[in-house]
């Protein structure tokens, strides 16, 4: 046992997230306010996050990580960036200014809606977000690539 260490937040701790009970993710969440959201920033972009959407809570580390990933990927204006399991679109939206187009794929419909709103609210026009399981989207992409190569060569 570790004296002085607790895994319980003090009762006067400020609330920085929305509590959602564990359970069936497909079940509707009962929230009294019509549109409860939290807002945060990464790379000077404002993100609006609904209760069931994923968002990286360590925004300073996320900003550095996304920038470094973009550097390693050698992004450019001809790059098509796939943001797989995109959540609210944070990675794709922060890198959108470095690529030709971003396609985000996410199976959580609320997160996809957030991603669309976040792109619009930040004036980013080269991002598209798809509500789909990644496997389905990858199969569609493979078929599209095969089709393009069949008519090109």
Q: Is 3 annotated as a binding residue?
A: no
Please, are residues 129 and 106 in contact by the beta-carbon 8 Å criterion?
yes
**106 annotated as a binding-site residue:** yes
Burial class (CB in 10 A: 0-12, 13-18, 19+), 148: exposed
Q: Give the closest residue to 103 by CA, choosing from 123, 77, 80.
A: 80
CA distance 96 to 90: 10
DSSP string, 103-127: EEEES-HHHHHHHHHHHHHTT--SE
Annotated binding site: 56, 106
Annotated binding site for S-adenosyl-L-methionine: 56, 106
């Amino acid at each position: 046992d570790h004296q002085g260490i607790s895994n319980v937040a003090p009762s006067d701790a400020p609330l920085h997230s929305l509590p959602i009970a564990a359970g069936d993710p497909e079940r509707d969440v009962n929230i009294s306010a019509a549109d409860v959201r939290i807002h945060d920033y990464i790379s000077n972009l404002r993100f609006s996050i609904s209760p069931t959407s994923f968002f990286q809570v360590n925004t300073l580390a996320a900003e550095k990580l996304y920038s470094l990933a973009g550097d390693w990927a050698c992004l450019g204006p001809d790059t098509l960036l796939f943001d797989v399991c995109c959540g609210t679109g944070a990675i794709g939206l922060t890198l959108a200014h470095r690529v030709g187009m971003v396609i985000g794929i996410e199976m959580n419909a609320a997160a996809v809606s957030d991603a669309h709103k976040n792109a619009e609210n930040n004036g980013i026009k080269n991002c598209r977000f798809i509500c789909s399981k990644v496997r389905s989207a990858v199969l569609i992409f493979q078929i599209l690539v095969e089709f393009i190569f069949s008519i090109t060569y």
